Amino acid sequence: MNTSDQLDAAFSALSHPTRRAMLARLAEGEATVNTLAEPFEMSLPAISKHIRVLEKAGLVKRGRDAQFRPCTLDAQPLEAIAHWTARYRPIWEARFDKMDQILNKLKDVKND
């Protein structure tokens, strides 16, 4: 999968709050599908679909431990997102600096 496709898949996977919550849980360590399903009021097949989306994006890997298939986080696609967004950081910082200057001017005018 090329970088553009990897970014598309990762952003698509991250677009759903359930999948983001699952990744947050997996950041704490491996978990079974049942463990990942616990906080959600949805069927196990629906949970499995979410996990498949995360797997397809490369964000989750499933292992084998006897009859269990524990899921683990693979942060490599998140690193690709971080590198992609880093290119835009100077733009955001310049805009925040400009906003800070405007707010300070408004504060100075209010205090006069």
- pLDDT value at position 66? 66
Q: In Å, how far are 21, 38, 40, 46, 107 from 18, measured between CA atoms?
A: 5, 12, 8, 10, 41
pLDDT digit string, tens, across residues 36-92: 999 999 999 999 999 999 999 999 999 876 677 899 999 999 998 999 999 999 999
pTM of the model: 0.78
| Rounded CA separation 11/16 (Å) | 9
